[in-house]
Amino acid sequence: MRVLVVEDEEIVGKVLKHRFEKIGASVEIVTLWRDALARLSQNPKPQIVSLDLVLPDCQLSHPQQIAEVRKHAPDSLLLVVSGFAESASKEDGPKADAYIDKRQDGISFYDVVMQQVASRKGFEDDLPIIQETVRRMTK
């Protein structure tokens, strides 16, 4: 599973990278919007994009950011992981597949990822790993 984490806060990026690697993902982190667009223009596309909506070099609205990600990687699972996730989910315009508050604990994070992965083709091999990770965390 290939994951692109778009996150400008170093500690949050490291936490997300660790969480995705724990479920077997190969993770790339970018900290700027322009780098995210450059990476999304390349192949292979990430299977999952974890997008923070507040980036220092981005002047687009939240819906515009989502539309740009969808344009460049239409088949990728798009997770908005942001301190503004709840308010962003209510905005008019293009939507992400899921909105996760970056302050959520690991179990809540994996629950959302598991639900999204379970509902999409191409993740059949990844779902058991995520389920096992959640099972171990809830013991």
Predicted confidence at residue 88, as pLDDT, reads 86
pTM for the predicted model, two decimal places: 0.93
Q: Are 40 and 73 in contact (CB under 8 A)?
A: yes
Angle value at C-alpha 36, between 83 and 86, nearest 5 degrees? 20
Taking 80 as the threshold, does the pLDDT of residue 138 lie above it?
A: no
Paired residues of 126 in beta bridges: none
**133 is written with which tokens?**
């990770």
Interval 10-54: pLDDT, tens: 999 999 999 999 999 999 999 999 999 999 999 999 999 999 999
What are φ and ψ of residue 117, in 5° steps?
Answer: -65, -40
Residue 29 and residue 35: Cα distance in Å, rounded?
10
Q: List domains and CATH numbers for the chain.
A: 2-104 (3.40.50.2300)
For position 19, what pLDDT does the model report? 93
pLDDT of residue 133: 85
Residues 4, 16, 105, 136, CA torsion sign: positive
Q: Which one, of 65, 74, 80, 3, lies nearest residue 34 by Cα? A: 65
pLDDT at 134: 81
Q: 59 pLDDT exceeds 90? A: yes
Tell me how far apart the alpha carbons of residues 50 and 100 are, in angstroms, rounded to a whole number. Answer: 9
pLDDT single digits (tens) 108-122: 898 999 999 998 888
Residue length of the chain:
139
pLDDT per position as a tens digit, 61-87: 999 999 999 999 999 999 999 888 888
Using the Cα atoms of residue 98, residue 21, residue 17 and residue 42 in order, give the sign of their dihedral: negative
